[in-house]
Structures are given as structure tokens and as C-alpha cells.
Structure 1
Amino acid sequence: MAVAKGNDSKNGVPLFKNKITKLDEELDKEVVFEFGGPVGVCAMMIGFPMLMLYFWVCLEHHQGALARPAVWTIEGVKEFFFDEYLQKILDGALPNILSVKIYMGFVAYSAICAYFLPGPVVEGFALPYLKGKKLKYLCNGLAFWYVTLVLSGVLHYYGIFDFTLIADQYGPIMFTAIIWGFVMTTLVYVISGVMGKHHRMSGYFFYDYFMGACLNPRVGRIDLKMWAETRVPWPVLFYISVSCALKQYQALGYVPAPAAFMVLAHFLYSNACQKGEECIVTSWDIFYEKDGFMLIFWNMAGVPFTYCMSSVYLMKYQLHNGVAISHSTPYTIALFAVLLVGYYIFDTGNSQKNRFRMEQNGSFMTRNAFPQLPWGHIKNPKYIKTSHGNLLLCDGWWGVVRKPHYTADLMMSISWGLITGFDSFLPYFYFCFFVCVLTHRVTRDFERCAKKYGKDWEEYCRRVPYVFFPYIF
């Protein structure tokens, strides 16, 4: 397979030679304590799995209402924790043979596909810790996605696998994913240490375990970070929504509009990750973030089993009440419009920025993956050339706000909640959580850019003053 190459100039964008400067090397080695440092990350590693299981209890036993102690006394809290929380998890959410087969079977299947399926090879950015070397990434996500969809249709049509089992085994599958998140994190940490590939270490074990110890862990042709970011979380999320919709179809004889909405929403997101996989190569996660609990657990367990709350809630509501949640036609149409507009900005915004980066990197390529949306590629874009040598895009959506893909994420995530109504907080958890995550990521990103680009960053902020929403924020 050939490596995608570029010319000295592409569509008016100078080819950036990825020359590594001393500042690049210093920033790449800099350790900045985030999330409250070692204590904060320990709380997150304990608290988030517990929160996911708590949400399962709320969905499974309280129809989406937030479970709480009957009385707020020490005895009341203890009784709630042991009887309402732990006992229900032990009774209904522990991993079993079926849940392990379903989840780990898909993980293994996706890894095999990532290793063997054909696809273009794209070069990443020059890496400071490798003295400017560019790693190559096999981008066969699109082949994996189409093969998986066709295979799913065959399995369903011939009754080989009942996809409603995913919804039935939601708790045990989620618990299996939680355990796998810890196991994979530990394996990457230990093996990368044995191989001498630890990088940017703080000296605090739990902090390094959370943030990651290795920047680019690989197994043969598989880049573990890219595989974990695209091949597991979004397809699993999509199939959870499909399973929940099938459960309602079995009960009602049709798929209600809100359930169809969630299937469409998660198909679009998963499809976008696979069809634009070559763009992910130049993203912040691949270039800078290390592969630790933060990325591994979130991709293996957090994304698919918290972003699915709307789908699971809609199914549980229908099974408990005998009728599906429905809305007026204008309300439903409006939410479909918000979803599709948000997706359009998300798809084209990511495409504009990453294709701009790929042009600089010399790895630009054109792929005819569905759907190719208008304005996904800007020819002769406006940009600021920094004294560092990098180019800051200030055209397309990126001339309107600094983080248009985050704006689109927020539009889509709020629509996922609104389609369920207003009787439960759980479908809105994703939106609330995302507001916090994206705000934190923006802060990290802007601080690093200010250090790296200095006055050029100030000029960029002057030209593009808004972060998420024009004239608001």
C-alpha cells in the first residue's frame, strides 16, 4: 500500500515540513498536572465506573429516575449503598459468559479487521520525541465499517445472532467493558514500560496510569490509540441503539420516531468516524495525548455506555409503560433538523480543519466515502502563518468560531436529550458532561497554543474572537 504524499503546495496551502523546534521538544516533555493531579485522577478512576453502574440501576429499576436514599442519614445512606446499589449490581449487572462473548468478541473482531483489511496508509505529524519522525497509519476503518454492516445484516436475517441480546445484556456487557478498560490500560502501561517506551512521565504512578505512559503504542500494523478511538466505541454505541430500537419493534410492531432518531444519530457519528479516519491521524489525541486510562477507558467503556442513555431510556420507558414516548410532528421535525444541521457542521468542520492539516503535512488525499458534504474542503483558505512555522486556519467554519466541531457536538448532544422529553436527567447527562469536557479541553488547548505561538495566537484570537457561538461565547 502506498503512503499518501503531497506536493510543495496544495490548493494554496504551503507544505509544512514539520521541522521540530526546541520549543516543540520542550512542550512535548512538559508535565502539567490536570484534573486535580494524582488525587483527582484517582477519584475519577473510582468514581466514573461507579457512576456508570449507578445509572444502570436508575434505568433498570427506577425507569430513569435518579435513585437516592429514603432518608439522608448515615444508616439510610448505608442501606441505599448496600441494598439498592451494590445488591442490584450483584444481582443483574455482573459479567457473564454471554456478555463476555458479545463484547470481547466484538473487540477481537474489530482488531482483526484493523490488522488485515485493506486501506490507505497515511503519515502523521512529525513527532518531537522521535526527532521529527512521522509514523504511518493504516486507515481501513471504512472497509471495516461496511464489512461490519453487511455482516450484521446477514447475522440478523438468518437468525444467527439476535441483536436484542445487546439491550437485554446491557448491564453485564457494560460491566465487562469497564473491566476491559482497566485491563487494557494496565497492559499498555506495563508492556510499554518493559519496552522502554514511557514518555512525559510525572513520577506519580496513578497520575501516569491515568494520563498514559506511552504516546504511540502499537501491535504490528495496529495503532492502538486510533483503533480504540474509532473501531470500538462508536460502532458499539450504534449497535446498542439498534438493539433498543429492535426491542421496541418487537413490542409495538414499528420503530417509534425517537428510537429511529437515536439510530440515525449514532449511525451518522459512527459513519463519520470511519469515513474520515485518515483525518484523525493529525488530531490532538493522536499527536499529543498519551494512551492511558483517560483515553482507553473512555473509548472502551465510557463512550458507548454513557452516550447511549437516551436509547436505553426510550426502550425502558416503552417496556415499563406499554407505550412509546412520542412528540408532536413539528417538535420531532425540529429536532431532526437540529441533529442534521449539527452533523453537517460537525462533518464539514472536522473535514475542513484536518484536510487543511493534511495539506500542510503532505498527506492530503481524496476519498469517495458516503456522504461527501459540500464545503468539506476549503480551496485557497485564509490562514495566519506563525513565526513558529505552523499555519492557523481562519476560514470556513474556523473563521466563524475557534471550535466549530465542538459547537456541532453540543447541538447534536442536546438533541439526543430533547428527543426523550423531560422526565429524566439521564438522557441529558451526555450534554452536561460534554459541556464540562469541551470547556476543559478548550482551556488546555488555548494555554498550549498561547505558549507555542505567542503574539501570533493573540492575532488569531483577534480575528476569530468567539469560541463556540458567535456574539455569545
Structure 2
Amino acid sequence: METKSRKKPHGENGSTNGSTVPKGLVGSDTATKDNLKMGSDHKVDNSGEFEFGGVWGTGLAMVFFPLLMWYMWVGQVYYDSQFPMLEKGEAIADFVGKVANLAYESAYPTKKAWLVYWGFLTYQGLLYVTLPGVWAKGNPIPHRDNVRLDYFCNAVWSFYFTIATVAILHATQILPITCLVDEFGSFLSVGILSGILVSFIGYFSAIYRGAQHRMTGRFVYDFFMGAELNPRIIDIIDLKMFFEIRLPWFILFFVSCAAAVKQYETLGYVTPQVGFFLLAHWLYTNACCKGEELVVTTWDMTHEKWGYMLIFWNMAGVPLTYCHGVLYLVRHNPSVYQWPIGANVFLYVFLLCAYYVFDTCNSQKNRFRQMEQGTLIVRKTFPQLPWQTLKNPTFIRCKNGGTLLTSGWYGLARKVHYTADFCQLTSLGLVCGFASPLPWFLPTFFIIMILHRAWRDTDRCAKKYGADWEEYKRQVPYLFIPYVI
């Protein structure tokens, strides 16, 4: 962990709000990232392209996912962790009304849940601006004269400081951590409602301030995708970074902690399966924190706007649906999911191997990008794994000024990081078994999402790099698994 000052470094232009990249060093590759033509109004999306099914697809997603989250919780509580289904002879209207009443009964957003949820968000904001960290530079922003914003990275300090705080609150019984599983339904509703509320605030605040970017003029679609590209508070809290790195993964980890503590209080021990979730969620959360400076040059930070898609999913979707596996475990007797020692050992090894690939391949890619730009920061945050940084990497120098990495993990498969991610998430389903479909929601959802994202990425890259992309596919022919597919 670093103890560096929060004082912002001065950029090449002497300003304190980012450095400007000399225009001569920025090729058309930079502009292409925003799907903009040079000279176009950045506030208007003139690409003519609509993602996620356009207005209808995004509109349905905004309605469907909150309802699905309540539906799954009702199944967890009242249907023995099964999906609620129509009973024989039951009218659809009666079934819908019954499920709605059960959701209201088990997931009413209590005052306590509101205070804890927003108290947690506020506390994370406080840690963001008070704890030590390091500064990193993002990618050039074409419509802002290619400025590179400065990002303050101290999530790793915030994570462990929060763990200590939660431990003290639990030990003193001021706020037992077990409330996260005992009152999960209330937190679920607060997360859903908060995600919707913040989405409206973020959207209309951007419109009011004239900060909108790439707008299509179709409200539903623009609301889903977002209006503002780089929302910030007091110039240090980058909201996209804050919501993506800290909120979802911190909450998810603490739900697993709460399940482990609850199981220990109830049974006198923690099962290997609950311990598996605790390890998996710690690994993922810690990875996001220790490599926070690498996130600043990713697609989410560079291109995605801060809209319902990112806000809702980070405030509610990730932390409150990705945990159904551990909720299933803590709500059932261990006899339901006991496995032989050999099976448990295999799953732990499988998880750790998948994590190693996930950690190192993402590090290789993002450190390569930062080395290109001269902004690489090598930190000593735990754990430092072999092969995180490529020495003398090979790559294709593209005609548009960009590069395509052809060594390391990305010399074996173009989307190997997706494969590693999927293996980690699949292990979370396998450790729960097949008695309930709820733990398998995450692997199923992820494979659908990742196939769509892979298609989305491939289509974008084909347009962006042209013939160079075909050469890249020739040199790296495998998409997900080396020498297989």
C-alpha cells in the first residue's frame, strides 16, 4: 500500500486538471474510440448505431432487471431457492399479485436499510478524499482537446480501512454485519431504488449543466446509456471510477462476510463452500482495488457514459444479484451441498488458476497501454503475481496509429480475459451444486453478456482497425481458448 500525497500532479501544460497530449501524437485511433468524425459536435451521436436493441431493448432492460431481482429474492425466501412458478389452475394475474405481495413483505425498504446503504456510500466518498493513494492518467479525450484526466487511486486503502471499520462495528454490536443477510430484502430494494434515483439525477444534472455527450435525441436510449462522459465531484471523485471499483465489489464481499459470520454463529463453523465464496469475492474485490490505476484506460472509463446501465448495475445489479449463491448456502443446511474433499480441493485450485489468468492478462494488457503512453505506474499492492508485465512485447502497429498486442496471454487468445472471468464465475455455481437454479443465474447471465460484448468488441475493432484487424486474427486465431476456439 502506498502512502503518497493526494496533491494532484501538474500536467505537461502546467494545469492541475490533466495533461494535454500534443495533437501530433494522437492519431485517428483516438477519435475513433468515440465513434466521432473529427469536427463533429461531440454532444450529438452521429454514428447512426444503437446498441442493446435500441430504444425498445434498453427500455425493456430498465423494467425487466429490477423486477427480476425482486422475483429472484421471492424465490430465495418463499420457494426454497427455486424460481416462483404458476401453480396448477392459478390465474396469471393472481400469481403476479401474490409475488408482488411477497416481494413487498420480504423486501420493504426500511429506514435502517436506507441509512446503512447511504451511510456506506458517504463513508466511501470520505475515504476517497482522505486516504493516501496514487495518481494515474486516463486516455486522451478527443472532444476536450485530447486532455488526459488525472485519476486518484486509493481503493486498496479504502477496502482494508472499511474491513477494519466493519469489524469494529460488528464486535461492538453497533451494527452487526449479519444484518446484510438477515435484512437482505430491504437492502435489495434500497439498492434498486437508489440506482434508479441516481440515474435520474445524473442524467438531468448533465443536461442542466450542458455536459451531455453523444446524445441521440431518443430519451429512453440516452437515459440508459447516459448523458455525461466524465462526471466528477470536487475534481477528485470520478463518479464512474467510484461506482465501478468500490461500491459493487465492496458490498458483494461484505455480503459473503456476513454469510460466513452468520453460519459460524448458527453452526459453530464455516463450510468450505461459504469459505469458497469468501475467497472468490475477496480475490475479485482486491484485484479491482490493487489494479485501480489500470482501469483508467479501459473502455468503461474512456467510452461508456455514466447512465442507467453503469449506475444501476453498480449500485444494485452486481452487489445484490451476484450474491445469490452464497445466500443459497447460508439459508440451507450444509447437508444439501456437501461435497467430497477431492471435489472441494479441485474447485479451489480451479478458482485460483482462473484468477491467476484473469489478474495477469488484464495487467499485461493495461500496463502495455500505459507503457505506450508513458504513464505506467508499477505498484506493490498484494498480491504481485509473476508475468503481470510484459518485457519487449510484440504488437501490430496499425495504420490508424493504434496498436494490437500479440504477446503474453493476448498472443494466445484475443478474449482470454473473458474466459478467465467465466471460469471464476462458473466455479461459484459448481460449488453450490444443482439443487437450485439461483446460484447459476450469474454464470448464465455472464455467458450471455460476454458473448454479446465479445461480438460488440469484435465488430467495433473490425471497423476501427480494418485490414490490421484481419492480420491480428491471422496471428492470434483463437478467440476464447488457445488452440481450441
- TM bin, normalised by shorter chain, reads over 0.9
State the AA in 1 paired with 2:295: I
Give the counterpart of 1:32 among 23, 32, 49: 49
TM-score (norm 2): 0.91
Distance 1:334 1:423 in 2: 20
Does 2:448 correspond to 1:433? no
Shift of 1:202: 1.0
Give the counterpart of 1:242 among 244, 250, 257: 257
Which position in structure 2 is the counterpart of 1:194?
A: 208
Distance 1:454 1:2 in 2: 39
Does 2:162 correspond to 1:148? yes
Distance 1:287 1:385 in 2: 21
Which segment drifts farther, 295-304 or 122-131? 122-131
Does 2:290 correspond to 1:290? no
Does 2:482 correspond to 1:470? yes
State the AA in 2 paired with 1:125: N
Give the counterpart of 1:137 among 131, 138, 151: 151
Which position in structure 2 is the counterpart of 1:403?
A: 415
Q: Name the SS of the counterpart of 1:472 in structure 2.
A: coil
Which position in structure 1 is the counterpart of 2:463?
A: 451
Q: Name the SS of the counterpart of 1:317 in structure 2.
A: coil
Q: Does the 8 A contact of 1:18 with 1:125 survive in 2?
A: no
Which position in structure 2 is the counterpart of 1:64?
A: 81
Shift of 1:140: 1.2
Q: Does the 8 A contact of 2:27 with 2:401 survive in 1?
A: no
Shift of 1:469: 1.2
Q: Does the 8 A contact of 1:228 with 1:300 survive in 2?
A: yes
Give the counterpart of 1:204 among 194, 218, 221: 218
Give the counterpart of 2:280 among 265, 269, 282: 265
Distance 1:339 1:137 in 2: 31
Which segment drifts farther, 227-236 or 120-129? 120-129
Distance 1:419 1:363 in 2: 40
State the AA in 2 paired with 1:208: D
Q: Does the 8 A contact of 1:121 with 1:139 survive in 2?
A: yes
Q: Does the 8 A contact of 2:243 with 2:311 survive in 1?
A: yes
Does 2:315 correspond to 1:300? yes
Q: Does the 8 A contact of 2:231 with 2:238 survive in 1?
A: yes
Which position in structure 2 is the counterpart of 1:48?
A: 65
Which position in structure 2 is the counterpart of 1:86?
A: 100
State the AA in 1 paired with 2:124: S
Distance 2:426 2:83 in 1: 19
Which position in structure 2 is the counterpart of 1:105?
A: 119
Distance 1:2 1:191 in 2: 26
Does 2:361 correspond to 1:349? yes
Shift of 1:23: 7.6
Does 2:349 correspond to 1:337? yes
Give the counterpart of 1:77 among 84, 89, 92: 92
Which segment drifts farther, 104-113 or 408-417? 104-113
Does 2:360 correspond to 1:360? no
Q: Does the 8 A contact of 2:422 with 2:447 survive in 1?
A: yes
Give the counterpart of 2:109 among 95, 113, 116: 95
Distance 1:163 1:31 in 2: 48
Change in CA separation of 1:224 and 1:31 when aligned onto 2, cut-off 3 Å: farther
Q: Does the 8 A contact of 2:28 with 2:401 survive in 1?
A: no
State the AA in 1 paired with 2:357: I
Q: Percent identity?
A: 41
Which position in structure 2 is the counterpart of 1:166?
A: 180
Q: Does the 8 A contact of 1:17 with 1:361 survive in 2?
A: no
What runs of 5+ residues in structure 2 fail to find an aligned partner?
1-6, 13-21, 37-44
Change in CA separation of 1:82 and 1:50 when aligned onto 2, cut-off 3 Å: same
Work out the number of aligned pairs and report it: 459
State the AA in 2 paired with 1:24: A
Q: Does the 8 A contact of 1:178 with 1:297 survive in 2?
A: yes
Distance 2:80 2:383 in 1: 37
Give the counterpart of 1:371 among 360, 383, 387: 383
Q: Does the 8 A contact of 1:16 with 1:389 survive in 2?
A: no
Q: Does the 8 A contact of 1:92 with 1:172 survive in 2?
A: yes
Q: Does the 8 A contact of 1:211 with 1:291 survive in 2?
A: yes
Does 2:184 correspond to 1:176? no
Change in CA separation of 1:166 and 1:453 when aligned onto 2, cut-off 3 Å: same
Distance 2:8 2:380 in 1: 18
Q: Does the 8 A contact of 1:198 with 1:214 survive in 2?
A: yes
Change in CA separation of 1:191 and 1:167 when aligned onto 2, cut-off 3 Å: same
State the AA in 1 paired with 2:66: P
Q: Name the SS of the counterpart of 2:213 in structure 1.
A: coil
Give the counterpart of 2:427 among 411, 415, 418: 415
Change in CA separation of 1:4 and 1:317 when aligned onto 2, cut-off 3 Å: farther
Shift of 1:154: 2.3
Distance 1:285 1:301 in 2: 18
Q: Which has the higher contact order (CA 8 A, sep 6+)?
A: 1
State the AA in 2 paired with 1:66: F
Shift of 1:439: 1.0
Distance 2:427 2:459 in 1: 31
Shift of 1:17: 7.6
Shift of 1:371: 0.3
Shift of 1:412: 0.4
Q: Does the 8 A contact of 2:27 with 2:402 survive in 1?
A: no
Distance 1:103 1:23 in 2: 38
Distance 1:233 1:4 in 2: 31
Distance 1:60 1:197 in 2: 43
- Superposed CA deviations along residues 44-101 of structure 1, whole A, max 9, x for unmatched, are 1000000011100010111211110103x6x521111101x10101112010011112
What runs of 5+ residues in structure 1 fail to find an aligned partner?
7-14
Distance 1:212 1:41 in 2: 12
Which position in structure 1 is the counterpart of 2:16?
A: none
Change in CA separation of 1:238 and 1:208 when aligned onto 2, cut-off 3 Å: same
- Superposed CA deviations along residues 388-418 of structure 1, whole A, max 9, x for unmatched, are 1112111111111111211111100100000
- Superposed CA deviations along residues 94-114 of structure 1, whole A, max 9, x for unmatched, are 100111122111111112212
Does 2:289 correspond to 1:277? no
Shift of 1:156: 2.6
Distance 1:151 1:18 in 2: 46
